[in-house]
Amino acid sequence: MTLEVAAPVWPARVIAVEADPLSVTRGSAAEFRKCGLFVERADSVSAGLVALAQNPRSIPLIPWDLDGMSVTDFIDIAQAMTPSPVIVGLPPEVAEEDVVGSLHRQRARIVRFPVTAARLARAIVESRPRPVAPTFETYQIGGLHLDVEAFRVSWHGHDVHLPPRLFELMRYFAAAHPRVVSLEELVSEFGANNNTRDRGERVRVMIGRTRTLFTITDPDRPPPLETVYRVGYRLTGD
């Protein structure tokens, strides 16, 4: 996939590196999704760096007492891999003035653990090296090409004519790629009312309509939205 945007982008994927999930965030996953944040956990420094290498648009969230590597060394490595800021979380017992000197001149932002969705989103926005809003946005995932500015989707060279709501659905999947997106997350983004069952059905209908339009465009290929049993949906470009 190629994404030609200023970093960080929205929705933002946050990698919580080697941090206790119970002490890192305050609030439900839905609250973070509403702020455009998807927080995922990496069990170790090496796993966090691998995840960052696989998706350089991600934003690392690391604890001040990082195990196995100093915070400043991690920031140096991360900055060579991504233009996104590094967010450093402090536990309640550590005073902010005690760590500011260590982070002097490094592009990092300090937050207090546990952090709320609104505070984390604000820290990311305030730390951005360039505007969060993309200048232009295109995705190329295998045979799928999505151009947001031109409002155009093509599938192996054939234009797929999607109505605006389904275009936004495909854009959401493209931004999340290669992550599997749960039905609950899609309901939070695209559901129309407060009845969870009805909202889930609405999302399933949207996915079904989208698949149908891709099949009409190219009957010889399966549509690029794959169901992952009991997990959710993901975009494929085969």
Instruction: Give 95's contacts (C-beta < 8 A, 6+ positions apart).
Output: none
Every domain of the chain and the residues it spans: 12-127, 138-235
In this prediction, residues 125-135 reach a mean pLDDT of 56
CATH topology for 12-127? Answer: Rossmann fold (3.40.50)
Percent of the chain whose predicted confidence (pLDDT) is above 70:
83
Class (C level, CATH) for 138-235: mainly alpha
Which region holds residue 139: left if phi is over 0, alpha if psi is between -120 and 50, else beta? beta
CB atoms inside a 10 Å sphere around CB 97: 7
Give the residues across from 138 on adjacent strands.
Answer: 147
Instruction: Give 171's contacts (C-beta < 8 A, 6+ positions apart).
Output: 139, 146, 148
pLDDT tens, 206-233?
999 999 999 999 999 999 999 988 888 9
pTM (two decimals): 0.53
Q: Identify the weakest region by mean pLDDT among 22-26, 31-35, 117-121, 129-133.
A: 129-133
Matching fold, domains 12-127 and 138-235: no
Confidence band, pLDDT 50/70/90 cuts, at residue 132? very low
Give the pLDDT score at 170.
92
pLDDT tens, 20-76?
666 788 887 778 877 778 888 888 999 999 988 888 888 999 998 888 898 989 998
Are 225 and 235 a contacting pair, CB within 8 Å?
Answer: yes
